[in-house]
Chain A
Amino acid sequence: MTQAHLAPEVMARAREIVALYPHPRSALIPLCHLAQEHDGWLRPEAMVEIAELVGITPAEVLGTATFYDMLHTDEVGRYVVTVCTNIACMLRGAYELLEHAEQSLGIRTGSTSADGSFTLEDAECLADCGRAPCLQVNHRFFGDVTHEDFDRIVDDLRAGRLADEVPPHGTLVRVRRDGGLRVDAETVGSERRATAAAMAERAAASESKGAG
């Protein structure tokens, strides 16, 4: 038996997530996010364990993950800076901001700084166009970003002053689900059958009334 990659508490959460869905494979994307929270990106070792959890092959996990922009199958920086350049942001200076970001971070779009702190990406519409140009750092929004704002955000990140607002890359949802139906499928099934019967009865009653 090889050493497990994902930590035991992460595996426990993963099993809880799988249990939320009628079919385990539905948990695939949430589990990829969970693995990114663990490692900062989607490591091959994690994909093997995810595959086992949802009952598919590691290749299927990889093949699905590469479809999605937020799932990184290569290592990324601690802070992934995503500048929106779509039409609404472009009209308000997004490409100029992206150029400034490249100079300020000393990296090209699509690459990671040598110290592993920052990855710079350009993105399609992030849906914060009321505050264009906008960007995200680890999927936390910053709006109406001037070049000065950008430099301040980078300084604050480096100094750890935004630790509350911006968790390390990969942490998507810090609020855990704590409610739930917690009933077995048979109970749900019998309720559904009773409901269907009641609805059919009412429909039949209204039809006979209509006919009469």
Chain B
Amino acid sequence: MAVTDAPRIVTSRLAYDDSHTLERYLATGGYEGLRKALTMTPEAVAAEVDAVSLLGRGGAGFPAGRKWSMLRKAPTSYLVVNGDESEPATFKDHLLVERDPHQLVEGVLIACYALQVTTAFIYIRGEFALGLERVTGALNDAYGHGAVGRDIFGSGFSIDVVVHPGAGAYICGEETALLESLEGKRGFPRIKPPYFPAAIGLYGEPTVVNNVETLSNLPWVLVNGAAAFTALGEGRSTGTRLFALAGHVRNPGVYEVEMVKTTFRDLIHAPVLGGGIPGGRELKAFIPGGASAPWFGPDQVDLPLGQDEVGAAGSMLGSGSVVVMDDATCVVRAAWRITRFFWRESCGQCTPCREGSGWLEKILRRIEDGEGRHGDLDLLMDISDNLAPGVSWPPQQTTICVLGPSIPSSIASAIRMFRDEFLVHIKDGACPFGSAPHG
């Protein structure tokens, strides 16, 4: 079992109770990355970020540097920070906005300088009331410190940052829905193309949207250099990454580990990480990258935590959330709950998603309730096929955004891995685990 002694890049301050204060931030190297960036040309800062091949930490894993370089031809109007973290069992950005808000602010400022953007919006999901207070407070202090506002640190560069609260809608994590929401509208994802807000973003102008964790890496990258970052991890998955570990483990929580060098087994079982499965239970299945990701079983536990490695195995690292289910878990109930989530959060624009999610939820609910019908599994797969033709991975697109085609992942996984368990529910007219859906 190997847990590498890689440096902590984004969680270095969390040992301090006052990690969110300007005093602590300055005492631990805060705003030095920004000061260094301001001595460089914006292009050189962007090149440094491009060189680290920092894969976006929001869920799609798109290289941050490439998102930026799409804009280098024309001036960018806005930087928008995606802090709408709502993917089930993902809670890493929550930690960063509450415990190290200055690190995020500094990352935002570095990105703004590199892109020569003078207005940035930090969109934070409304449920993070404390996070909103902490980031607002950090910004107030940063204005006072001269890091934000007119002529920052005497560089002649001015920048304004606005914290914007969401109001409870998973879909606003989809970047075009987030922009709609930021424009004061319902969070309806926009029709693609254009695929990237780089072309048409906020108010129709060129916009970069980056995730909280992605930007929180930038201060360290500027201070320590791209080479120090790429020395960590392997292949395209460089650096460290936050993994939010939840479900049936002794120590659920957020862990920063070196990419690729660490495996799911390490994350789940290492005493300094998940600490194993409690109650003498065995691992039944785990979800490697958020509710949209196909599930893995015990056979895949030795896969490394790398974007391409997990992708090649048929799932995704996604949002960095890992949900562990022990052998007492009813997978029908688990698949039902995830499907219920998608049904509740579907924005309703596209028929396959709006209608399909409800039908799937209803069928799964009746199976778990002991009222499943002969042929329900075929029906589930048929509806899934309408949402994502072939029910393949990555899913084929039938809708405006990826929410709808992501719905079959958990259902198809559960049926593929535990078909007999579904059949027992239907044949016996009861859940063998004695559980039942609620709500």
Contacts and interface: CB of A to CB of B under 8 A. Distances in A.
B75 A130 contact: no
Given A70-B167, A173-B132, A25 B185 contact: yes
A21 B90 CA distance: 30
Question: Which range holds the interface residue count of chain B?
Answer: 35 or more
Contacts of A139: 126-127, 129
Nearest to A17: B162
A183 to B, nearest CB: 7
Contacts of B86: 124-125, 127
Nearest to A21: B162
A91 B248 contact: yes
A86 B88 contact: yes
Interface stretch (A5-13, A28-36, A146-154, A156-164): A28-36
B323 A63 contact: no
B88 A178 contact: no
Interface in B185-214: 185-187, 203
Nearest to A173: B132
Contacts of A86: 88-89, 337, 341
Interface string B149-191: 1100000001110111111111000000000011111110000
A175 B20 CA distance: 14
B148 A20 contact: no
Contacts, number: 210
B165 A173 contact: yes
A94 to B, nearest CB: 9
A139 B75 CA distance: 38
B133 interface: yes
A88 B246 contact: yes
Nearest to A136: B127
Interface in B410-439: 438-439
Nearest to B144: A179
Nearest to B167: A68
Interface string B306-325: 00000000000000010101
29 contacts: A25-B184, A26-B182, A28-B185, A29-B167, A33-B165, A67-B169, A67-B186, A68-B168, A69-B169, A70-B126, A85-B337, A86-B337, A91-B248, A109-B439, A124-B86, A124-B341, A127-B93, A127-B128, A129-B246, A139-B127, A140-B130, A175-B132, A178-B140, A179-B142, A181-B159, A183-B150, A188-B158, A199-B116, A203-B72
Return the 3 tightest CB-CB contacts between A and B, nearest first: A179-B143, A69-B168, A28-B184
